[in-house]
Amino acid sequence: MLPKKPLVGIIMGSSSDSKIMHNAAKILDDFGIIHEDQIVSAHRTPTRLEEYAKHAEKNQFRVIIAGAGGSAHLPGMIASHTIIPVIGVPIMVYNDKSDKKSEFKFSAFGGMDSLLSIVEMPNGSPVATVGVNKAANAGLYAAKILAAEFTELKSKLKRFKEKQHQSVLAESDDLKKNGLSKFVQKKFK
């Protein structure tokens, strides 16, 4: 039985990262996994980052999902402060706190800067890393990690995979039945 307390911490460097990171929360919610979500900046609140690592360990979090854009130090820095597994989410689009609400900056390297910053951690401080903006995959990976301890998640994950399988078969049947042109018109209006 899953405990009624957070098992996963979701952290992000800025509120603008929430547009991407909410996909991890949605997956965890779908699996009934309680999570705690916070903004922790590796650069603007370094002491808070260290305090958060201690908080996560004290509260027995099993996984931390950390999203960051640009130089993306948050996942690696949190990993350096804890033994809890960290899943990094490189984020391509971020807001540098400009006054214009609609003005967003894009990573200079299409998210590759964030990806490489997270995936290329030195030996001793590993961070599991998903693709750019793939927070949903981070949520799924966290569920898989937790399934080793909580067997009810194994059956939920198997049902999830079966649902994906059936969805592809249904789409393929629809494509075969209606032809590519009609399929695309119907699917991507």
The answer, yes or no, to whether residue 90 has pLDDT greater than 70, is yes
pLDDT in tens, 142-159: 999 999 999 999 999 999
Burial class (CB in 10 A: 0-12, 13-18, 19+), 157: middle
Q: Is the residue at 108 inside a domain? A: yes
Same domain, 25 and 105: yes
14 is in an annotated binding site: yes
pLDDT in tens, 58-88: 999 999 999 998 889 999 999 999 999 999 9
Which range marks the domain in which residue 183 is found?
A: 152-187
Same domain, 62 and 119: yes
17 is in an annotated binding site: yes
DSSP string, 47-108: HHHHHHHHHHHHTT-SEEEEEEETT--HHHHHHHT-SS-EEEEEESEE----S-TT--EE-T
Q: Is the residue at 170 inside a domain? A: yes
Same domain, 139 and 55: yes
Count of domains forming the chain: 2
Q: Is the residue at 2 inside a domain? A: no
The Cβ of residue 20 has, within 10 Å, a number of other Cβ atoms equal to 23
Same domain, 67 and 129: yes
The answer, yes or no, to whether residue 139 has pLDDT greater than 90, is yes
pLDDT in tens, 11-59: 999 998 999 999 999 999 999 999 999 999 999 999 999 999 999 999 9
Q: How far apart are CA 153 and CA 143, in angstroms?
A: 7
Same domain, 125 and 60: yes
113 is in an annotated binding site: no
The continuous run of DSSP H or E covering 140 comes out as helix 135-147
CATH of the domain at 19: 3.40.50.1970
